[in-house]
């Protein structure tokens, strides 16, 4: 309460001294006045919108020259003094000395012998000496297969189409393309006739009566008892003979004289064969020139065979391989007949499909295997059940 009283008293004193008297005792003219003069535009107030449009941007104002900033002084044709030149020479000599010192230090460090084994570790065999570690434990980097570095085909990724397939081809080129399409159709027709002929030959035309007779003959074969008895007698006769070799007689035994004669004859045959081989060797020495010509001919034949193999290998690289279950089939020729050729490019109708063309190109270059669309089919036939209620209702309807 005391503080509030002092605060009110202070306000009263301030009002009294500021108005040189009490406010309540003064007239209204002394306290209030009517302002008839308008307020002037201050410099701090923002400029009107029209004047602000002519003001330059901040980014452009920064590029304008400032009077307070002195321009950069670029020295021209300045000649260095003698102390400056000496200082530059000394600096170059010091740099050269530093480079020589660094090279010398590196050479000294390279000459130092480095311990191959850690002296503070336990003694043991290194990785190079432990055979078991090298054979079993150590991980070896696998060798990449050779087909990763070699191309599987030499065919280009994008083949240029035949010039006869243009919308406005030349007559000769168009006829060439037509002949190619004709050859393809002839080959297809020939294959169909061959298949038809082989299938007709395989399928034998037999009547039902002949089939029944054949079946009866096959079923009744092997039932005859005489054949069985003859077979059993042959088996018994074979079992009586114990040894495969014929029996040995005493009269057939060779005497010592006969054996000695045989040995002498064998020795003579060996000598004759040895003399024959020696004569052949002497004869071959005489025919060295002929052998040389034979060797040259053989080397030429081998070289030709290698060239033929290389040519076949290159030709094989141009053809697609059989990578999967199906063989590669050439796409059909995109050809337009003479009445289908448009008079301008605007009326041209596109042939084929770009995605199919890229897929065939990948298959032809042995990058992916040839594929066929597989239809979804059930492995087992779906079973059907009839509910008892439906069965009962069906019986009622049938009886009614």
Per-block mean pLDDT, blocks of 10 residues, the chain (400 long): 73 61 69 69 55 75 83 77 84 90 82 68 54 74 83 87 88 92 92 84 72 84 58 56 68 84 93 91 82 91 95 89 90 86 84 90 91 83 80 73
Residue 32 has a pLDDT of 72
In a domain, 4, yes or no: yes
In a domain, 11, yes or no: yes
DSSP conformation class of 86? H
pLDDT tens figures, 318-367: 889 888 889 999 988 888 888 888 888 888 888 888 999 999 999 999 88
In a domain, 130, yes or no: no
Radius of gyration over every alpha carbon of the chain, rounded to an integer in angstroms: 58
Number of domains in the chain: 2
In a domain, 228, yes or no: no
In a domain, 80, yes or no: no
HEC letters along 300-363: HHHHHHHHHHHHHHHHHHCCCCCCCCCCCCCCCCCCCCHHHCCCCHHHCCCCCCHHHHHHHHHH
In a domain, 326, yes or no: yes
In a domain, 140, yes or no: no
Identify the domain containing residue 13 by its residue range.
1-30
Residue 380 has a pLDDT of 83
Confirm if 357 and 310 have CB atoms less than 8 A apart: no
Structure tokens at 54: 């002519």
In a domain, 25, yes or no: yes
Residue 112 has a pLDDT of 66
| Nearest one of 3, 278, 319 to 153, comparing CA atoms | 319
Q: Are residues 309 and 167 in the same domain?
A: yes
Q: Which residues contact 170 (CB under 8 A, 6 or more apart)?
A: 163, 164
CA distances in angstroms from 1 to 7, 24, 364, listed in the order given: 10, 25, 108
Residue 335 has a pLDDT of 87
């Amino acid at each position: 309460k005391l503080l509030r009283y002092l605060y009110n008293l202070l306000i009263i004193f301030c009002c009294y001294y500021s108005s040189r008297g009490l406010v309540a005792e003064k007239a209204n003219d002394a306290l209030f006045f009517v302002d008839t003069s308008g307020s002037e535009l201050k410099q701090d107030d923002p400029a009107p919108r029209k004047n602000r449009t002519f003001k330059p941007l901040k980014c452009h104002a920064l590029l304008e020259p400032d009077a307070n900033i002195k321009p950069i002084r670029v020295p021209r044709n300045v000649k260095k003094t003698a102390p400056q030149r000496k200082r530059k020479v000394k600096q170059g000599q010091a740099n050269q000395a530093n480079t020589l010192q660094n090279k010398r230090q590196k050479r000294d460090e390279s000459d130092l012998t480095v311990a191959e084994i850690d002296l503070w570790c336990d003694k043991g065999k290194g990785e190079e000496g432990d055979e078991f570690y090298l054979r079993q434990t150590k991980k070896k980097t696998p060798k990449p297969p050779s087909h990763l570095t070699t191309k599987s085909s030499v065919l280009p990724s994008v083949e240029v189409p035949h010039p006869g397939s243009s919308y406005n081809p030349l007559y000769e080129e168009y006829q060439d393309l037509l002949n190619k399409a004709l050859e393809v159709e002839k080959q297809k027709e020939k294959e169909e006739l061959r298949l038809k002929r082989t299938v007709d030959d395989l399928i034998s035309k037999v009547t039902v009566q002949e089939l029944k007779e054949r079946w009866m003959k096959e079923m009744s074969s092997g039932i005859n008892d005489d054949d069985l008895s003859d077979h059993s007698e042959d088996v018994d006769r074979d079992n009586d003979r114990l040894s495969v070799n014929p029996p040995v007689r005493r009269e057939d035994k060779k005497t010592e004289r006969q054996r000695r004669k045989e040995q002498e004859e064998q020795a003579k045959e060996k000598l004759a064969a040895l003399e024959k081989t020696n004569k052949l060797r002497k004869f071959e020495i005489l025919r060295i020139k002929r052998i040389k010509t034979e060797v040259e001919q053989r080397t030429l034949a081998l070289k030709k065979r290698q060239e033929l193999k290389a040519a076949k290998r290159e030709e094989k690289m141009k053809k697609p391989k059989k990578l999967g279950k199906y063989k590669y089939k050439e796409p059909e020729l995109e050809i337009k007949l003479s009445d289908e050729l448009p008079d301008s490019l605007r009326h041209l109708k596109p042939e084929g499909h770009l995605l199919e063309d890229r897929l065939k190109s990948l298959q032809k270059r042995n990058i992916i295997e040839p594929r066929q669309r597989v239809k979804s089919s059930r492995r087992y036939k779906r079973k059907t059940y009839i509910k008892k209620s439906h069965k009962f209702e069906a019986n009622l309807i049938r009886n009614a």
